[in-house]
Structure 1
Amino acid sequence: MQPALSLRKAISIMLEHANPIHRVHYTHLFDLTGKILAQDLFCQKALPAFDNSGMDGYAVRLADLGQKTPILGTILAGESCSVGLHDGACYKVMTGAPIPLGTQAVIPFENATLKDDSTVLLPTDFKEGANIKIAGEELQVGAPLLQKGERLTHHHVALLASQGYSVLPTYAPLRIGVYSSGNELIEPWESAQSHQIYNSNASMLFSTLQNFGWRADYLGVLPDCLEGMREAIRGFDAYDVILTTGGVSQGEADFMERSLEEAGMTTLFHGIEVKPGRPTMMGILGKTTLLCLPGNPLSASINLHFLGIPMLKKMQGERRYHLEFVYAPNKERLILKGNRANMVLGRLHEGCFKATQEGKYGSGMLTPLTTSNAIIFCDKGVENLEEGALIKVIPYMTSFGEEAVDFFNI
């Protein structure tokens, strides 16, 4: 068995070997949310596309301010406009309507006094360009729009629609297979006896992946025998990634690792100097990446969320896959064992971080996960964090960045 790596080194190896898988398919505009863009895009239609009114009002010349001015007509949004505007006249224009050539300002209806159906008294003072949106002031034709590797949001979809994009190339989702292991496990839809426990890990893996936009195949519980394991391994090549829980701690490791290495897996690391989550293994088998997580639910959940998800994001072709953090004061003094790195669950509330149960919870628990919304990474050698200390906190629903940042508290 390989010696355990530092948490920093394990994270580095995971990202180094997370090779993007660029299978491209085409996706309709209405299905783009959450998909990864597979090409750079540029502005095709200026935003705004033409000079237009930002308000319902009067298109005017500044020379007519303070004057009774004839209204020559009305221009509605969606109409074309080929007229010009000269001193001594104005037009009614609606929000989004094109403005006549020569318009110097749009005066809102409420700032002017209508004298009759064809004459308006304009105010005495208004700035040139007021309430006018100039063609291309937001984006000009040819300007960069979105970069390859962008995970598309509903805001991106609106921007794409404004450019007339209806079908775009995106990266096909990773093919992910999920296994659990352990003779004591029984599925939630079965009836557990007193010596059995319900399999929460498979549901946790599946739902975590779903939360980040992936669908996985649940492949069941890995058999606790060498031949059964070999049979399961023969099906791994149908997937880009295989995630497992359990079977990689000391005493079990020879069986799991031996079976995989017999099949040709290159072990990248086996064991991380961290609590929770030490029994974690990563390897490459053919074109399949294997991430073998601890069997204890809390450990497996944290390692998948904060170590595995960045790896999967990079494999998916995303531009942003590095964890980001926020600074927050530590609510209560926290005592740690400094002979390893520590990942400590907690809650961000009213701008402060408070460790869950003072950091005193077991790796087999589930309830600390449900009461936490953030985590801190403390490097090896950190033995306490003082009350009020400004610390680096990673929210559970953190954003991801293009550049690596040091999110460890040291």
Structure 2
Amino acid sequence: MLRVEEACELLLHRAPPRRVERVPLEDALGLVLAEDVHAPEPLPAFARSGMDGYAVRSADTLGATREQPVVLRPVGVIPAGHPREAELAPGTAVAIMTGGAVPPGADAVIRLEEVRVTPEGVLVFRPVPPMENVAPVGEDVREGELILEAGHLIRPQEINLLAALGILEVPVFARPRVGILSTGDELVPAHQTPGPGQIRNSNSPGVAALVRAAGGVPIVLGVARDVTEVIAGMLREAAGCDLILTTGGVSVGRFDVVREALTILGAEQLFWRVSIKPGTPVCASVLEGRLVIGLSGNPAAAITDFDLLVRPLLDHLLGRRRLGLRAAEGVLDQPVLKTAGVTRYLRARAYNGPDGEIRLDTSMAQRAGVLSSMSHANAYAVVPAHAGPLPAGARVRALLLDDADVFVPPPRGDV
């Protein structure tokens, strides 16, 4: 049986090529640049004042002292956005606001707090060095400068920088389009009251939300009955998807026919069954160059399969540097009393203890069929196959969900 790391390696090896597209800047948040970006213009594009004050010729202020200030004649005001075209004459000063364009002839700005305005003029009490409080053209970014490299995550900070340079479209790794096909005769839509023996289809909206939260675009393909030909037909007709996720029908029951449907279609099976509990009977195949990953039908197990196997794949397709969940070392609050032949991924609530270490509360229900405890978990406590029993206080590997608001201290050793 494959370990999670081995299954992930197979999926990444057979992952579809990353798609690159140009998107409007307002849609680029959270995406990764696919190409280098160079500045089309300098920033700032004009010499601008860094302070409210007076723009002056620095040479006019030579020799100024508290006892013998230099007196300059005021010649107007330059607000931000209203440049003065006329050259500043010797012996004059012009009031200027922060961000205002320093006029021709001026080469410095003295702060408003450092001058005194009198009927005689603007009194300057010290020499003002050239370029004081002036941001020259290109001080921040030079024209043609490499500002962001391929592989850079676009955050609000990058949006601000790109907009300041007038870059309104950026080349990014496209959000993967993920088809979602639920299987099972027992499934009814979530808005429908189930009849005898039926359950609401929670996997379609749940997995769609996982895909969306991971940065992908979910495409819900519907629900297929537990009939090989029906599943095969819906897989065959799934168009416009970079990969497909199915839920249910991957175990060893009489009506678990997803793998059989893939065989009929001529798919190449990469693996079936991975050392994951819950979620062992997960499978993956390549169908016409496209990955099809069969998740467990139990919602909690499907979530676990997604977090461990699909999330790293989506991170890869999105060009992210970190693949999958954050890993850390944690301390068990409760003992693990049983030993299992597969690696157990216990639902856990991660928090920082008084000593700053990550503590893992695994007291919630762990059965594959229990969904409610997933809402109380923000991490997995990883118990390796054949490990145990483990006492409370044992150190284990922790995988942190995105909402795990914990400080991760430096590791003390391998876990």
Q: Same fold (TM over 0.5)?
A: yes
Is 1:76 matched up with 2:82?
A: no
Shift in alpha-carbon separation, 1:179–1:5, aligned structure 2, 3 A: same
Contact kept in structure 1, 2:47 and 2:101, CA below 8 Å: yes
Go from structure 1 to structure 2 and tell me whether the alpha carbon gap of 1:386 and 1:74 turns closer, same or farther (over 3 Å shift).
farther
Secondary structure at 2:291's aligned position in 1?
strand
Question: Alpha carbons of 1:103 and 1:366: their partners in 2 closer, same or farther (altered >3 Å)?
Answer: farther
User: How many pairs does the alignment contain?
Assistant: 397
Q: Paired residue for 1:47? A: 43
Query: Normalised by the size of structure 2, how large is the TM-score?
Result: 0.81
Query: Does the CA contact (< 8 Å) of 1:269 and 1:281 recur in 2?
Result: yes
Equivalent of 1:18, from 15, 34, 37?
15
**Structural mapping, 1:245-256, within 5 Å:** 245-251=247-253, 255-256=257-258
Q: Which whole-Å CA distance do the structure 1 matches of 2:65 and 2:44 have between them?
A: 27
Structure 1 residue 218: Cα displacement: 1.8
Within 5 A, what are the aligned runs for 1:153-232?
Answer: 153-232=155-234
Q: TM-score normalised to the size of structure 1?
A: 0.82
Give a deviation string over 1:18-77, Cα, whole Å, max 9, x none: 2324264x4333443355544332111222223322221233536346424313443222
1:375 paired residue among 372, 376, 380: 380
Q: How far, CA to CA, are the matches of 1:132 and 1:343 in structure 2?
A: 58
SS in 2 for 1:218: strand
Check whether the contact 1:347–1:353 (CA below 8 A) recurs between aligned residues.
no
| Residue of structure 1 in register with 2:333 after alignment | 332
Q: Distance in 2 between matches of 1:325 and 1:230?
A: 36
How far apart are residue 164 of structure 1 and its match? Answer: 1.6
Deviation (angstroms), 1:210: 2.2
Question: 2:309 maps to which residue?
Answer: 307
The aligned residue for residue 371 of structure 2 is: 366
Match of 2:408 in 1: none
**Whole-Å separation in 1 of the counterparts to 2:41 and 2:258:** 56
Does the 8 Å contact 1:328/1:391 carry over to 2? yes
Amino acid at match of 1:214: G
Q: Partner residue of 1:320?
A: 321
Shift of 1:238: 4.6
- Alpha-carbon separation, structure 2, partners of 1:56 and 1:364: 66
Post-superposition offset of 1:295: 1.1
CA contact (8 A) 2:108 2:134 kept: yes
Letter in 2 for 1:93: I
Please give the root-mean-square deviation of Cα atoms over the aligned residues, in Å: 3.6
- Larger mean Cα displacement after TM superposition, 333-342 or 228-237: 333-342
Amino acid at match of 1:43: A
CA distance in 2, matches of 1:18, 1:153: 26
Rate the CA distance shift 1:104–1:10 in 2: closer, same or farther, 3 A: same
Provide the rounded CA distance (Å) in 1 between the counterparts of 2:147 and 2:335. Answer: 46
Q: Secondary structure at the match of 2:253?
A: coil
**Separation (CA, whole Å) in 1 of partners of 2:77 and 2:370:** 69
- For residues 109-168 of structure 1, the C-alpha deviation after alignment (integer angstroms, 9 at most, x for no partner) is 23443334832354x598876543343333222222334455544433322222222344
Distance, in Å, in 1 between the alignment partners of 2:188 and 2:234 is 19
SS of structure 2 residue aligned to 1:290: strand
Instruction: Work out the percentage of aligned pairs sharing the same amino acid.
Output: 26
Structure 2, unmatched stretches of 5+, are 406-410
The amino acid that maps onto 1:18 is A
Q: Which of the residues 122, 129, 139 maps onto 1:119?
A: 122
Q: Provide closer, same or farther for how the CA distance between residues 273 and 331 of structure 1 changes in structure 2, counting only shifts above 3 A.
A: closer
Cα distance change, pair 327–258 in 1 and its aligned pair in 2 (3 A) = closer
Structure 1: runs of 5 or more not aligned: 400-405
Q: Does the CA contact (< 8 Å) of 1:37 and 1:150 recur in 2? A: yes
Aligned to 2:286: 284
Cα 1:290–1:52, aligned 2, differ >3 Å: closer, same or farther? same
Counterpart code for 2:117: L
Q: 1:83-98 to 2 correspondence within 5 Å?
A: 89-98=92-101
160-169 or 277-286: bigger deviation: 160-169
Answer with 1 or 2: which has the greater Rg: 2
Distance (whole Å) between structure 1 residues aligned to residue 131 and residue 346 of structure 2: 55
Give the Cα–Cα distance (whole angstroms) in 2 for the partners of residues 57 and 382 of structure 1. Answer: 71
Residue aligned with 2:363, SS: helix
| Match of residue 394 from structure 1 | 400
